[in-house]
A and B are shown apart, each in its own frame.
Chain A
């Protein structure tokens, strides 16, 4: 069972804005930077966001992220069909210590 909680699914229509949440605790999200990864069907994960809100090189500015307290979120604006994928948050947990991933959110573009 993941210590980072993500909704199992999210959906939106093309052009819409969707957000995906990632809820943690004071030993992980509350004190360490959160990263986000996108996994297209059948592919290896791709690095999207680091240090809570910094886009990795080449990631469109339609993707943004933020963090407040022990919760983080990923937002995708101007939704496109190619955004349909699984999205994972990840963070170092000082109490383990080690990296933990959220359970993943499957984004469907309707």
Chain B
């Protein structure tokens, strides 16, 4: 059974760096055919893809946020970490991580973590 769960601060101040951790079970991120993706959703708005990492350490970032994002994996801990620098109020959103299998899709999602950006 595949499960994922996001963790991190619920409140960050403007200009701070956000660090979110996706802890997962039921699969290993040592396989190039498996990935973990980060997606966010501002309140009342649409889903927005942020970043993706595969087991072979191949990484992809949203072009509009690329300069602010870093995605890494710790295979031994079954975790994927997303950092986003220079947070602003517009970055307030629920942040989701999900399991990705190329040619398939985001089949399993975490419950999401709401991040508020306020001073």
Contact = CB atoms under 8 A, between A and B. Distances in A.
B103 A101 contact: no
A44 B62 contact: no
Given A44-B111, A44-B112, A45-B96, A98 B106 contact: no
Contacts of B26: none
Contacts, number: 58
Contacts of A88: 46-47
Nearest to B47: A101
A98 B49 contact: yes
Contact of A104 (B47, B62, B104, B106): B47
A103 B46 contact: yes
Interface in A73-110: 88, 90, 96-104
A102 B46 contact: yes
A99 B3 CA distance: 22
Nearest to A6: B46
Given A44-B111, A98-B62, A98-B63, A2 B46 contact: yes
Interface in B100-119: 103-112
B63 A96 contact: yes
Q: In the complex, which range does the number of interface residues on chain A fall in? A: 20 to 34
Interface in B53-67: 60-63
Interface string B16-59: 00000000000000000000010100000011110010000000
A104 to B, nearest CB: 5
Interface of B: 37, 39, 46-49, 52, 60-63, 96, 103-112
Interface of A: 2, 33, 35, 37, 39, 44-47, 50-51, 56, 88, 90, 96-104
Given A47-B108, A99-B49, A101-B46, 19 more contacts: A35-B105, A37-B47, A39-B47, A44-B111, A44-B112, A45-B96, A46-B109, A47-B105, A47-B107, A88-B46, A90-B105, A98-B60, A98-B61, A101-B39, A101-B47, A101-B48, A101-B49, A102-B46, A104-B46
